[in-house]
């Protein structure tokens, strides 16, 4: 396995997966460098979410290689292990623990031991409390920390989930459509938040909102039918004739 060592944080090569004969991912290759933020665009059914499923261990690829941090073969680990390796994921539909308070959502996400029985006797440390205060500040939910997550607006749930990712402190974040259903002001705020996060981590953002992608100002990969159609700056990609044909429209 040492022969495969790369310097990249995420390395996908020749990955394919089919569901009932449908090739959701077809010979996909993608490399992400440490500290890089990448935006993934593409039409519906291009395989964006399936790609995230493969990276996070929810789906096993039929063929191809998926390496994390240059050496860990992700196809050999399940969701929990991959999360513990340092890959965090935000879902398309905001998924938070609705019957817990905003603060408790962060408490559960906070990096630390994940065993069942020690959790019985867990006491919050000062460092943990401070970290949670800090994250609440970042995601601007300090005032609502004691409210149930179910009571948050859609945009605030998205932020809470991003806050949970921060608490989890992963090396690589996969963020699926973070601004779907957000107002313009919220979208702008989210772009700011993600750029802040990307200063210390690698991030993959899947997004349809081209305005938002422009705001992120990062390298863009366009997927189509489970494979990479174009890669480069947003202007390059959006100028590509094939991208215009399948995705942006003429």
Partner 1 sequence: MITRFLAGGLERRINILLAILVAAAVLVPVLHLAVPASSPLHMPTYVVALVGKYLTYALLALALDLVWGFCGILSLGHAAFFALGGYAMGMYLMRQIGARSVYGNPDLPDFMVFLNWKELPWFWHGFDHFWFAMLMVMAVPGLLAFVFGWFAFRSRITGVYLSIITQALTYALMLAFFRNNMGFGGNNGLTDFKDILGFNIQADATRSALFAASALALALGVLVTSALVRSKYGKLLIAARDAESRMRFLGYRPENIKLFAFTLSAVMAGIAGALYVPQVGIINPGEFAPANSIEVVVWTAVGGRGTIIGPIIGALLVNGGKSWFTGALPELWLFALGALFIATTLFLPKGIVGAWEEWWKQRRERDGRAPMMSARNPIESPAE
Contact residues for partner 1, defined by CB under 8 A? 56, 58, 78-81, 83-84, 88-89, 91, 95-100, 104, 107-109, 114-117, 119-122, 140-147, 153, 156, 159, 164, 168, 189
Place of tokens 């997927």: 223
CA-wise closest residue to 11 among 21, 1, 23, 24: 1
Smallest gap from residue 108 Cβ to partner 1 (A) = 6
Q: Which is nearer to partner 1, 167 or 230 (CB)?
A: 167
Cβ count within 10 A of residue 110: 18
Q: Which is nearer to partner 1, 101 or 227 (CB)?
A: 101
Distance CA 183, CA 117 (A): 42
Cα-based angle 186, 196, 144 (whole degrees, multiple of 5): 50
Smallest gap from residue 229 Cβ to partner 1 (A) = 28
Q: Which is nearer to partner 1, 22 or 121 (CB)?
A: 121
Q: Which is nearer to partner 1, 102 or 234 (CB)?
A: 102
Smallest gap from residue 119 Cβ to partner 1 (A) = 4
Smallest gap from residue 212 Cβ to partner 1 (A) = 18
By three-state DSSP, how is residue 128 classified?
helix
Cα-based angle 149, 155, 158 (whole degrees, multiple of 5): 65
Distance CA 237, CA 217 (A): 13
Distance CA 158, CA 17 (A): 29
Smallest gap from residue 40 Cβ to partner 1 (A) = 18
Q: Which is nearer to partner 1, 5 or 95 (CB)?
A: 95
């Amino acid at each position: 396995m040492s022969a495969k060592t790369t310097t990249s944080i995420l390395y996908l090569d020749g990955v394919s997966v089919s569901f009932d004969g449908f090739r959701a991912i077809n010979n996909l290759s993608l490399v992400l460098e440490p500290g890089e933020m990448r935006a993934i665009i593409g039409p519906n059914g291009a395989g964006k979410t399936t790609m995230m499923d493969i990276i996070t261990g929810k789906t096993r690829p039929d063929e191809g290689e998926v390496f994390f941090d240059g050496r860990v073969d992700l196809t050999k680990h399940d969701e929990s292990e991959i999360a513990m390796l340092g890959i965090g994921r935000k879902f398309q539909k905001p998924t938070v623990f609705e019957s817990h308070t905003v603060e408790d959502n962060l408490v559960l996400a906070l990096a630390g031991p994940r065993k069942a029985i020690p959790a019985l006797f867990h006491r919050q440390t000062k460092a943990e409390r401070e970290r949670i205060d800090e994250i609440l500040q970042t995601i601007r939910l300090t005032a609502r920390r004691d409210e149930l997550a179910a009571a948050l607006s859609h945009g605030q749930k998205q932020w809470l989930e991003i806050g949970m990712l921060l608490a989890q402190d992963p090396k690589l974040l996969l963020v699926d459509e973070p601004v779907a259903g957000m107002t313009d002001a919220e979208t702008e705020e989210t772009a700011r938040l993600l750029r802040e996060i990307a200063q210390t981590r690698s991030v993959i953002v899947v997004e349809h909102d081209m305005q938002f992608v422009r705001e992120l100002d990062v390298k863009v990969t366009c997927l189509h039918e489970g494979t990479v159609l174009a890669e480069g700056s947003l202007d390059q990609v959006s100028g590509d004739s094939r991208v215009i044909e399948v995705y942006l429209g003429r």
